[in-house]
Amino acid sequence: MTPISLGIHGGAGRLGRHILALALEDARFSLGTVMVREGSAAQGQDVGVLAGVKPVGLLAAADLRDLLDCDVVIDVSSPAAGAKLATFLARHGQAKLVTGTTGWNKAEDQILSEAAARIALLRTGNFSLGVTALVRQVRENAARLGQAWGVHIHDIHHSAKKGCPLWHSINAGPGSIPGLGKRYKPALPVGGGGLAGHTQSR
């Protein structure tokens, strides 16, 4: 079977490095390009070193055009960078896009929707099976509770975390959790990133 050519957008971040390390160990994938932010310390570094293993002869890049030969691109960057990537890939009609980036605003949401009309695009607020199971439980339990019950969500992370994946997975609004109605109270995510999701440092 021919390996899937994989591009990683946001390869210098915590999750990006983890995905990179897994991809290097999995024969089903071949690394096509690992993208990092223009001017970052990771630009030009061997991606094996970024992943914490031995050099593999592929250097981290910052030019989106390097992703065009990939079969699939995984995006774990930032909303602004992810929206730019989605627009670029849709314009060229090339790679399929999987994005786990959170914190999108309405304008960036619209950009993703437009890109999805032109390329295969999968979006998730969290890759964790545990969080996915939790979100399902919240939705099911919310539907069973009476209107007298209030709902509060607390999302706590390490100080280096940007954004609040659980908050974004549930999407912090009654429209995304059937049964909550007016009982929903804004989440109180606690972390250190300062991105959308009302992240606070402690």
Catalytic residue (one of 9, 161, 162, 168): 161
Catalytic residue (one of 18, 92, 96, 157): 157
Q: How far apart are CA 123 and CA 30, in angstroms?
A: 22
Q: Would residue 161 show up in a list of annotated catalytic residues for this protein?
A: yes
- To 5 degrees, how large is the angle CA 78–CA 83–CA 84? 100
Secondary structure (H, E, C), 15-77: HHHHHHHHHHHCCCEEEEEEECCCCCCCCCCEHHHHCCCCCCCCECECCHHHHCCCCEEEECC
> Which amino acids are annotated catalytic?
157, 161
